[in-house]
Amino acid sequence: MQVILKAVLWALPLIFGLGFLAPVIAQGLEAAGIEAPLGLAPLTLGLLIGGAWGAFATLKGRWL
Protein backbone atom coordinates (compact mmCIF):
# COMPACT_ATOMS: atom_id res chain seq x y z
CA MET A 1 0.00 0.00 0.00
CA GLN A 2 2.77 2.39 1.02
CA VAL A 3 4.72 1.60 -2.14
CA ILE A 4 1.68 2.32 -4.32
CA LEU A 5 0.98 5.55 -2.44
CA LYS A 6 4.59 6.69 -2.84
CA ALA A 7 4.49 5.90 -6.55
CA VAL A 8 1.25 7.85 -7.00
CA LEU A 9 2.66 10.83 -5.10
CA TRP A 10 5.85 10.74 -7.15
CA ALA A 11 3.89 10.67 -10.39
CA LEU A 12 1.32 13.23 -9.23
CA PRO A 13 2.63 16.05 -11.46
CA LEU A 14 2.36 13.79 -14.50
CA ILE A 15 -1.13 12.70 -13.47
CA PHE A 16 -2.04 16.37 -12.99
CA GLY A 17 -0.58 17.31 -16.36
CA LEU A 18 -2.46 14.61 -18.26
CA GLY A 19 -5.59 14.53 -16.14
CA PHE A 20 -6.17 18.21 -15.55
CA LEU A 21 -3.94 20.49 -17.60
CA ALA A 22 -4.70 18.63 -20.85
CA PRO A 23 -8.49 19.19 -20.73
CA VAL A 24 -7.94 22.75 -19.42
CA ILE A 25 -5.79 23.52 -22.46
CA ALA A 26 -8.22 21.79 -24.84
CA GLN A 27 -11.34 23.48 -23.45
CA GLY A 28 -9.48 26.81 -23.22
CA LEU A 29 -8.59 26.62 -26.91
CA GLU A 30 -12.18 25.76 -27.83
CA ALA A 31 -13.60 28.56 -25.67
CA ALA A 32 -11.21 31.07 -27.26
CA GLY A 33 -11.93 29.79 -30.78
CA ILE A 34 -8.26 29.01 -31.39
CA GLU A 35 -7.37 26.08 -33.61
CA ALA A 36 -4.60 23.73 -32.58
CA PRO A 37 -1.57 23.78 -34.94
CA LEU A 38 -0.76 21.00 -37.44
CA GLY A 39 -4.40 19.98 -37.60
CA LEU A 40 -4.23 18.45 -34.14
CA ALA A 41 -7.37 18.00 -32.09
CA PRO A 42 -7.44 20.40 -29.09
CA LEU A 43 -7.31 17.48 -26.67
CA THR A 44 -4.32 15.96 -28.46
CA LEU A 45 -2.44 19.23 -28.11
CA GLY A 46 -3.54 19.43 -24.48
CA LEU A 47 -2.25 15.92 -23.80
CA LEU A 48 1.06 16.72 -25.50
CA ILE A 49 1.62 19.94 -23.53
CA GLY A 50 0.14 18.69 -20.25
CA GLY A 51 1.98 15.38 -20.49
CA ALA A 52 5.33 16.97 -21.36
CA TRP A 53 5.01 19.62 -18.65
CA GLY A 54 3.86 17.07 -16.10
CA ALA A 55 6.74 14.75 -16.99
CA PHE A 56 9.17 17.67 -16.62
CA ALA A 57 7.72 18.51 -13.19
CA THR A 58 7.86 14.86 -12.10
CA LEU A 59 11.49 14.46 -13.12
CA LYS A 60 12.78 17.91 -12.14
CA GLY A 61 10.64 18.47 -9.04
CA ARG A 62 9.36 21.83 -10.24
CA TRP A 63 6.84 23.22 -12.68
CA LEU A 64 8.66 26.51 -13.23
Q: Is 56 exposed, middle or buried (0-12, 13-18, 19+ CB in 10 A)?
A: middle
Confirm or reject binding of residue 34 to another protein (CB under 8 A): no
Q: How many Cβ atoms from other residues are within 10 Å of residue 46's Cβ?
A: 24
**Which C-beta is closer to another protein: that of 9 or that of 35?**
9
- Least distance (Å) between residue 22 CB and another protein: 8
- Least distance (Å) between residue 51 CB and another protein: 14
Q: Which amino acid is at 3?
A: V
CB 33 within 8 A of CB 9: no
Q: Footprint of another protein on this chain (CB under 8 A)?
A: 5, 8-9, 12-13, 15-16, 19-20, 22-24, 26-28, 31, 57-58, 60-64
